[in-house]
Amino acid sequence: MHRHDPSIARLADHALDYALERVRMDPVPLDAPKSYEELHAAVGETITPDGIGGDKALQLFVDVLAPACISVDHPRFFAFIPGAPTEASVIFDMVVSASSIYTGSWLEASGAVYAENQALRWLADLAGFPESAGGVFVSGGTSGNLSGLIAARHRWRTRTEGRHDRTRGAILASRSAHSSVVQAARAMDADVFDVPVDERGRLLGSALRSTIDALSQDDRDRVFAVVATGGTTNVGVIDDLRGVADVCEREGIWFHVDGAYGLAALCAPSVRELFVGIERADSFIVDPHKWLFGPFDCCALVYRNVHDGRRAHTQHAEYLDVLHGGESESGPWLEMNPADMAHHLSRRARGLPVWFSLATHGTRAYTDAMEMTLDVTRQAVDEVRRRPDLELVLESDLTVIVFRRLGWSSEQYAAWSDHELATGHSFVVPTTWRGETVLRLCIVNPRTTIDDVRAVFDALEQPT
């Protein structure tokens, strides 16, 4: 375990060679899951008193473990919400790993925090946030939503001067909101009041208005946040952010926008208009590991007023005192501690791969890549309309396509999906829309071409 052990140096070469080879594979193999029995037969016990040796462990990873993990960046990975990190971001993720940076505090990681903050500022500017904005990169949208909502509740309780310190709070959100919103409420022991959606699954300002009006005064007083979605996970529609902002402003309620998937498209002029209203949010999240070409795991959480985040999340202890004192009570906080912005303390510099890739390619390349995925999606939608066996279920705002294969049962969808994955052809899974099993494609990879999509549609026309 010595630093200059020659066998470790050789191992490092092998591991780095493999890593570079993986980054440059084009296309990567799709791969597929294996059962516990299959993996156990091929791998067995690897943690032993003497170790099995790095060469053996690496070989097991390359030959058995990695092929049992689906490549999210495969151009025909259309399930869930995939990701497609740039080569620059992946390489820099390795640099971050090599650098042993504790990125919780300005004291320990000023250089890294400075660079991460430039990437956050780019996002804040895209949203039209003021100078007071700031935030942090957390592990994912689930954690970002929880931290944003904790800050919302903190502000509500502070503003009501202790009257609600023991009141169970409530969040207003629609059924189209991501599962992590309900999960955050559960973690916070808060309620979620349902706001009905329109026919495309969107939360509108008018429905929010009537939902609030129908609440009892006690329930109304418990509401500390409204969550709107900037690109729903299931069907890719954008809530009425402007209408929701109007209501939140009038009612003095924190407005959180969950844009884990969709807010990446703030940099895409062809759809930017759909996000009008985001500039009035109190907080938003967007996952660079989804549609902003960064590696796992990475979510940008941005507060309109950085101090809202700080007041809710700063941890206090004798051994942390040295980190505090520099923060002003208002105005931009330039030498911030990322630990103070979310429900965490120690953290990886997970924003640096995003920063490095942005710095390398420039923001215009991001706009171009984003527009490419939007363009392939539009072509794919036209293709669905042209094919007699397929039928579009609803019009998406972004890059999710939800459609039917006419005449198929849910068993047929499932069997077809399994077959596609098992043969390494594509990864597409069914979803449900208003109780009906349908198919869903999500396109976030600029390497996905219309021919990749056509290959999936062709496969749907084969008899099963």
Binding stretches for ligand PLP (CB under 6 A): 81, 140-142, 178, 180, 229, 233, 258, 260-261, 287, 299
Provide the minimum distance between the beta carbon of 429 and ligand PLP in the complex, in angstroms, as a whole number: 15
Q: How far from 298 is each of 99, 185, 261, CA to CA, in Å?
A: 18, 22, 12
Compare residues 353 and 390 and give the one whose CB is closer to ligand PLP: 353
* β-pair type (170-173, 223-229): parallel
Report the half-sphere exposure of 366 (CA within 13 A, side-chain side).
28
Q: With beta carbons less than 8 A apart as the criterion, state whether 289 and 444 touch.
A: no
Compare residues 153 and 178 and give the one whose CB is closer to ligand PLP: 178
Closest-approach residue to ligand PLP (CB): 141
Compare residues 282 and 327 and give the one whose CB is closer to ligand PLP: 282
The pair of structure tokens assigned to 259 is 């844009």
- Report the C-alpha gap between 209 and 246 in whole angstroms: 9
The pair of structure tokens assigned to 197 is 């959606």
Q: With beta carbons less than 8 A apart as the criterion, state whether 152 and 254 touch.
A: yes
The pair of structure tokens assigned to 449 is 């071409």
Compare residues 23 and 227 and give the one whose CB is closer to ligand PLP: 227
Provide the minimum distance between the beta carbon of 360 and ligand PLP in the complex, in angstroms, as a whole number: 24
Compare residues 191 and 297 and give the one whose CB is closer to ligand PLP: 297
Provide the minimum distance between the beta carbon of 261 and ligand PLP in the complex, in angstroms, as a whole number: 4
Residues 6+ apart with CB under 8 A from 217: none
Q: Which single residue is written with the structure tokens 């021919």?
A: 451
Compare residues 100 and 179 and give the one whose CB is closer to ligand PLP: 179
Q: How far from 74 is each of 46, 150, 372, 447, CA to CA, in Å?
A: 29, 36, 16, 8
Provide the minimum distance between the beta carbon of 229 and ligand PLP in the complex, in angstroms, as a whole number: 5
Compare residues 299 and 306 and give the one whose CB is closer to ligand PLP: 299
The pair of structure tokens assigned to 90 is 């992946």
Compare residues 263 and 428 and give the one whose CB is closer to ligand PLP: 263
Provide the minimum distance between the beta carbon of 45 and ligand PLP in the complex, in angstroms, as a whole number: 31
Provide the minimum distance between the beta carbon of 162 and ligand PLP in the complex, in angstroms, as a whole number: 32
Q: How far from 65 is each of 39, 49, 85, 397, 431, CA to CA, in Å?
A: 8, 22, 21, 37, 28
Provide the minimum distance between the beta carbon of 197 and ligand PLP in the complex, in angstroms, as a whole number: 14
Provide the minimum distance between the beta carbon of 57 and ligand PLP in the complex, in angstroms, as a whole number: 28
Q: Which single residue is written with the structure tokens 């895409």?
A: 268
- Report the C-alpha gap between 167 and 153 in whole angstroms: 11
